[in-house]
Amino acid sequence: MKYKDLSFTKASRFSRPEWVRTEESVMALSDGSLQIMINVDRHGLKRLEKALKTPDDIRGFSHYDLPYPAERYERRKANLEIALAERERRKEEGRWH
């Protein structure tokens, strides 16, 4: 059977599952890994925010932003906030190097 519907409006074989971070998983990271995760997330959010400002231009989106870029933006923003909160907690405790 030939696959005919290549639409990005539905979750399909083209979509990638979105990671959901928990406070426990972020607490288990080393300081270096946490900082790298924060930097990568910030860069990705900036890029996706620019793409959402011009939704008619598909070139601004990466393949893993589709099919639901606005929902993925919100999830990634929440993931970044969890990581930033963990970094601040470590700084307050004096464990941040």
Predicted local distance difference test score (pLDDT) of residue 43: 93
CB 11 within 8 A of CB 35: no
Q: What is the pLDDT of residues 61-76, one digit of tens each?
A: 887 787 788 888 999 9
What angle (nearest 5°) sits at the alpha carbon of residue 26, between those of residues 25 and 29? 95
pLDDT, tens digit, 9 for 90 and up, residues 29-45: 999 999 999 999 999 99
Residue 11 reports pLDDT greater than 70: no
Taking a C-beta distance cutoff of 8 angstroms, is the pair 11, 67 a contact? yes
> What pLDDT score does 16 carry?
66
- Considering only residues 14 and 45, tell me which one the structure prediction assigns the higher pLDDT: 45
Residue 88 backbone phi and psi in degrees, to 5? -65, -40
% of the chain exceeding 70 in pLDDT: 82
